[in-house]
Amino acid sequence: MLARAAILSRMMTGLTIVVAAVLLAAPLETSAEDRDKAKPETRKVQAVGEWAYKRLNAAHEALAKSKHAEALQALEEMKGSSRLNEHEKALMWQTYGYVYASQEKYKQATEAFEKCLEAGGLPETAQLDTQYNLGQLYVMLERFDDAVRVLQDWFAKAQNPSAEAHYVYAVALYQKGDKRNALQQGELAVQKATKPQEAWLQLVLSLYIDNQQYPKAIEVCEALTAYFPKKAYWLQLSAVYSQVDDYKRALAALAVANAQGMLTEDRELTHLAQLYLYNEIPYEAGRLLDDGLASGKVEGTAQSWRLLSEAWVSARERTKAEKPLEQAASKSGDGELYVRLAQIQFEREDWGAVSKSLRHALEKGKLVDPGGAQLLLGIASVKDKKWEQARTAFKAAAGFEKNRRSAEQWLTEVDAEVGEAAATSAAVGAAAESSGGGGSAPPAAPPEKVEAPSGSGKGGV
């Protein structure tokens, strides 16, 4: 929406023109030479009488000193007169409009400018200025149909409209729903300006995005970050780059914002980490999330800890990945992350940790492959020589069609190993008895065939 201060400033500039018009219309002495040089008006304007001139001049002087009551008093004297011509009436209502506008009484100012135009006694330049000011006030009062009507007529008559005028018209058209013509006027405002105002660029950017003209939207975003380097515009620039699948530049824009200390919220830092990962720069993602979680800028949710773990795994820092994955697993609503944690622990052959993680996974439940988790638990138990725990896990895994064959093979291996160990122990004991010797049998060696089934122990996070 239009800034009130900007409109008021524009109107006060117009007031200077009004004062000049009044003085020129006053009964002043002029030479014949000056009269000959004067450019003839295309519209014949009535003269301002001395009585009306004094009151208009008093109103202008009072307004210049912000003495609104005195200004209105002078104008009230004029309004009560029946001797005013059209020119004097128009000037009176126009001055009323400026007084009300300076008091931010925009509804009364609008009514005054409407009556000024109805009087029709102003010179063409002053008439057009009043029409333009009325259009601005209609926009401020959200009377967009009236604004478009008045400004459309003004543009048909005005010569070389300013960049600001194109922006005001663009706002009116946009609010009325005519986005195509609003974009055209917004583009003209930006093109004509030496340095486009922030609001103008914002409007054009919004219209480009609405029309999915992303390459042009990128140009406007780049201008916004150059002229007004605010966090919102860096975020917008990154988002528009993503719309055209330019994720390297999307990352660069966010990284610049972060380097300037602009990214402070969880979602902003998390998105930057995701862009690092997408662009295959996982170590920076891990470092960013590590710092964010430590400082509290990134919330310690299951998703955040999981993302950190994935970053470290992708960076081949698997040891660093365990702790955040354990945190994520403890906060998750299912046991899947505990299964992933067990897979990492399996790789470093920490069988006790693998078993613990898998038991947590099975307790939480909601697993995609519960039979696979039981199978992996059985394998870890075999590695740890916990035969009964292994047998229990394999029997549970055999209850799932997908894992039945592998589980039964493992059960056969475990039973054979346990039976062989028992037989060896008995034979050694008998030999010791017959010879009268003492001692005990050495522990049985683990079976050579004990390996993790394909996809169970070498998977990544």
If you average pLDDT over residues 44-55, what whole number do you get?
84
Q: Is the pLDDT of residue 184 over 70?
A: yes
pLDDT category of residue 423 using cuts at 50, 70 and 90 = low
Record: fold of 1-22+49-159:
1.25.40
121 confidence band (pLDDT: 50, 70, 90): confident
Q: How far apart are CA 160 and CA 333, in angstroms?
A: 66
The whole-number average pLDDT for the span 185-205 is 94
Q: What share of the chain is helix, strand, coil (3-state, %, to 5)?
A: 75, 0, 25
Report the distance separating Cα 277 and Cα 315, nearest Å: 10
Output the pLDDT for position 45: 66
Q: Where are the domains of the chain?
A: 1-22+49-159, 332-416+448-461
Please determine, for residue 414, whether its predicted confidence score (pLDDT) is greater than 80.
yes
* pLDDT at 20 > cutoff 60: no
More confident residue, 97 or 459: 97
Topology alike, domains 1-22+49-159 and 332-416+448-461: yes
CB 336 within 8 A of CB 366: yes
d(CA 328, CA 102): 61
pLDDT, position 420: 64
What's the DSSP call for residue 122? S
Evaluate if residue 299 carries a pLDDT over 80.
yes
Strand segments, DSSP code E, in 11-92 are none
Higher pLDDT, 31 or 41: 41
Q: What number of CA atoms fall less than 13 Å from residue 95's CA on the CB side?
A: 34
pLDDT at 43: 55
Kindly give, in sequence order, each residue whose CB lies less than 8 Å from that of residue 413, ignoring residues fewer than 6 positions away: 382, 447, 449, 450
d(CA 126, CA 23): 13
- Split at pLDDT 50, 70, 90, the class of 47 is confident
The predicted structure's pLDDT at residue 3 = 52
- Of 99 and 8, the structure prediction assigns the larger pLDDT to 99
Secondary structure (3-state) at 52: helix
Q: What is the CATH number of domain 332-416+448-461?
A: 1.25.40.10
Question: In the predicted model, is pLDDT for residue 27 greater than 60?
Answer: no
* pLDDT tens-digit readout, 127-141: 999 999 999 999 999
CB 279 within 8 A of CB 248: yes
User: First CA to last CA across the chain, in angstroms?
Assistant: 50
- What whole-number distance in Å separates Cα of residue 204 and Cα of residue 339? 51
Mean pLDDT of 54-80: 93
d(CA 118, CA 79): 15
Distance CA 353, CA 374 (A): 15
For 150-168, how does the pLDDT look when each residue is reduced to its tens digit (9 = 90+)? 999 999 999 999 999 999 9
What is the Cα–Cα distance from 141 to 144, expressed in whole angstroms?
8
Residue 94 and residue 123 in contact, taking contact as beta carbons nearer than 8 Å: no
Please report the DSSP string for 265-320 in residue order: SHHHHHHHHHHHHHTT-HHHHHHHHHHHHHHTSS---HHHHHHHHHHHHHTT-HHH
The pLDDT value given to residue 253: 98
pLDDT of residue 339: 96
Q: Is the pLDDT of residue 73 over 70?
A: yes
Q: How far apart are CA 159 and CA 125, in angstroms?
A: 10
Contact 100, 106 (CB under 8 A): yes
Q: What mean pLDDT is predicted for residues 61-76? A: 94
Neighbour tally for 217: CB within 10 Å: 25
pLDDT at site 349:
93
Residues 371, 306: Cα–Cα separation, whole Å: 23
How many whole angstroms separate alpha carbon 345 and alpha carbon 342?
Answer: 5
Residue 124 · residue 42 · CB < 8 Å: yes
Q: How many residues does the chain have?
A: 461
Q: Are 2 and 171 in contact (CB under 8 A)?
A: yes
Asked whether residue 23 carries a pLDDT value surpassing 70, the answer given is: no
pLDDT of 382 strictly over 70: yes
More confident position, 191 or 433: 191
66: left (phi over 0), alpha (psi -120 to 50) or beta: left
pLDDT given at position 408? 93
Region of poorest pLDDT, from 218-232, 240-254, 413-427: 413-427
**Which residue type occupies 190?**
V
Nearest-Å Rg of the Cα atoms of the chain is: 42
Whether residue 24 has pLDDT greater than 60: no
Per-residue pLDDT averaged across 205-225, rounded? 96
